[in-house]
Chain A
Amino acid sequence: MPRFMFALVVAVLAVVVGGELALVGGQATSGEYKIGVLEPITGPLAFEGKRHVLGLEIVRDLINQRGGVMGKKLVFAMADATDPTAAASEANRLITREGVKIITGTFSSRLCGAASEVAARHDVIYWESSCVDPRFNKRGLKHVYRTEIDATGFGWYNIEFIAKHLAPRLNLKPNQIKIAFLSEDSSYGQGVTESARQRAKSEFGMQEVMLEYYNWQTLNDMTPTILKMKQLNPDVVHHISFSNDGVLFWRQSKEQNFLFKALVHAGATGYGGSDFGKALGNDANGVFALLEPGPGFRLEALKPEGQQIEKAFRDAVQKETGSYPLGAHQLAGSGLWLLKLVLDKAQSDDPEKFRAAVMSLDLPVGSMINGWGVKFSELGQNANDRVQHYMLQWQNGQLVTVWPEEFTTLRAKWIPLPAWDQRK
């Protein structure tokens, strides 16, 4: 338990000292402005939820150093959304007991739907930074917004990469590519996979050789699936994994000597999380994951204001965690920064004034953290082409940015993937 006590002491000190520094270093703020933060901080989703919270805390401090929101110091009322039921009841508590007018969250697509329904019932603004369920914005809820693209956008970008970058490097036309779709079966996995399938087929005529969904929580062995895939012999494996399923597929593919030309994933889960590299070391080499930018990302490719906040954010995360920001930090952090931009403009948390401010924001790509821009649709969804996404690749224990090439100094390697023992 000493670890825990130590963490507690550090947290208390950080709050006390951090608060003092904000007052000394930044513009003066008077009073506090409280928003609700809903993330899974215990339970099976906590490993990612806690990273979201850290991203939010870092950006909260950056905001407070820059004058807070609406002239007040931004503070959080925290709530723990372990599962959809808890997400709904905690959202209720934030609204009725804590009296918040804005709630932000919630790592998982399993949680955001339930929580935002509650917020909508109370006319409270729901500001989503991470969940990618395509249905989220399509329920006619007026004060529900999402800063990240949805799963359909992920699928769109993945196929863009396969057709425009991988195909030429494999000396194949897009319609010659044999593609196998494998995915965990949450709304996230299904959303990405179905939109990728649709675009692959209708726009590029790729040949789909397999489609398979599975439940990652009960998956103990992928050998049968791999043996089946071996016979179907795909060029590209489009695999949306959630956690250990990515490690299992990759390790057992190696065991079964299953060779294909590339594997493409999307999102900060599974192959897109740091754990994949930790589990496999250099054996992870070659996997692609669509994400927020990582090492190799060129600051100079951004607008001046984007460069400034991206750098401040990156340095703060580096200081806190000792490494480059992870997807979870970046999604939560950029979401909160965008909330600040809206509040700066609205100067109010009245839902109607807030909505007017959201709709009027129009920033090009490169304007903020992650090189994102802003343009919300009437449905409250930030636009695919403003929320720039990047293809990262595992290279010697690190996920690095490799595409689009104008945003990065590094290049994709191992296309097509060589034999398993030659990926060094």
Chain B
Amino acid sequence: MDPATGLGPAQIGVLVPLAVATILLGGIYALISVGLTLIFGIMRVVNFAHGEFLMLGMYLAFWAYFVFTVDPYFVVVVAIPLFFVVGLVVYGLVMRGVIRASHNVQIFTTVGLSTVLQNVALVAWSGDFRFVRPWHLSTVVRAGATTFNLTQVVASVIAVTLTLALVAFMKWTHAGRVMRATAQDRDAATLMGIDTDRVYRLSFAIGIAAVGAAGVLVAPLYSVYPTAGLQFVLISYVVVVLGGLGDMLGAMLGSLIVAAVEVAGSYLFGAAWKEIFYFLLFILVLLFRPAGLFGQRGAETLGV
């Protein structure tokens, strides 16, 4: 009865579509996690409202499609600067005041922000499930035994591009170097004359821009509703810890690992098991490699 027992040709044939499913799902997780790893890694703020910015991105895609029939791929071009500004504003209004406060205060603040955003969405747009259905959503590409959904492929490709762009930014620009320095040791960075407040503001805005873009891109794949962000936010924390705080490439690899665990777990043991597996992995990493699988030393101090 269980297809996992016995490894026949049919089981090997299914490996390819499973691998494809892993890569596509991993791409989506990466897209959502790169923004979080920036904020979490550099500011050391556990941003519980991350999922709500994803939800706002999804609503942007929905309204743009519903009112003007603009494809999400075009909306994403507008979404990046728009959410950058949103990030700056939210940082100035909310985050700036608590950036040096205790973690408890930060958690209360971001949970509060998350609740506020969810309920603003509920009041403004109701609790209805909304859907974005561009033409490419129902375009299925078949290649041999495997099938691809065009929307998901494009989302994954953009995720990789965006992540690589951020990696390049962090590595080769002055701003990126300053951000990494702050991530490694905020006190030493201050002593070196780095304006940490500016660094935080920039990190937060870039992080929100990335997650806003992610929201726009995943909107066709999932339904859009005020609490749509919740299902992704926990996973992105697992990804960020796996990959190491503030490490973009780590986040991408972490996403693939989480997706692989999820896909293999669902296939072999059943969908109810997938969370057990990736949270087990999460705990193991915290125990044995607290800096993440690919993380830098010192990052585990969480700025305490």
Contact = CB atoms under 8 A, between A and B. Distances in A.
B272 A212 contact: yes
A385 to B, nearest CB: 34
Nearest to B142: A257
Interface stretch (A19-27, A156-164, A222-230): A222-230
A85 interface: no
Given A212-B270, A244-B223, A224 B131 contact: no
A217 interface: yes
Contact of A223 (B119, B122, B232, B263): B263
A4 B124 contact: yes
A42 interface: yes
Contacts, number: 119
A108 B18 CA distance: 35
Contacts of A209: 1
Contacts of B17: 223, 227, 256
Given A185-B272, A215-B272, A254 B225 contact: no
Interface string A254-280: 111100000000000000010100110
Interface in A210-241: 210, 212-215, 217-225, 227-228, 231-232
Interface in A257-305: 257, 273, 275, 278-279, 281, 283
Interface residues of A, number: 45
Contact of A225 (B123, B232, B271): B271
Q: Chain A interface secondary structure, helix, strand, loop or mixed?
A: helix
A17 interface: no
A152 B227 CA distance: 30
Contacts of B28: 220
B147 A231 contact: no
Chain B interface category by residue count: 35 or more
B190 interface: no
Interface string B140-176: 1000000101000000000000000000000000000
Given A256-B17, A279-B131, A283-B138, A220 B267 contact: no
A215 B265 CA distance: 14
A252 B21 CA distance: 11
A279 B275 contact: no
A16 interface: no
Contact of B10 (A212, A231, A281): A231
B262 interface: yes
B104 interface: no
B288 to A, nearest CB: 25
A50 interface: yes
A247 B223 contact: yes
Contacts of A228: 3, 267
A232 B275 CA distance: 24
Given A185-B272, A218-B275, A244-B222, A224 B147 contact: no
A278 B225 CA distance: 14
A243 interface: yes
Given A218-B234, A218-B275, A255-B140, A244 B129 contact: yes
A47 B272 contact: no
Contacts of B127: 42, 46-47, 49-50
Contacts of A248: 222
B14 interface: yes
B122 A42 contact: yes
B211 interface: no
B1 A227 contact: no
Interface string B168-202: 00000000000000000000000000000000000
Nearest to B148: A255
A418 interface: no
B126 interface: yes
B251 to A, nearest CB: 17
Closest 9 pairs (CB-CB, A-B)? A214-B271, A46-B127, A47-B127, A224-B267, A224-B266, A223-B21, A275-B129, A279-B131, A244-B223
9 contacts: A44-B230, A47-B225, A213-B271, A215-B275, A217-B231, A231-B14, A248-B222, A254-B140, A275-B223
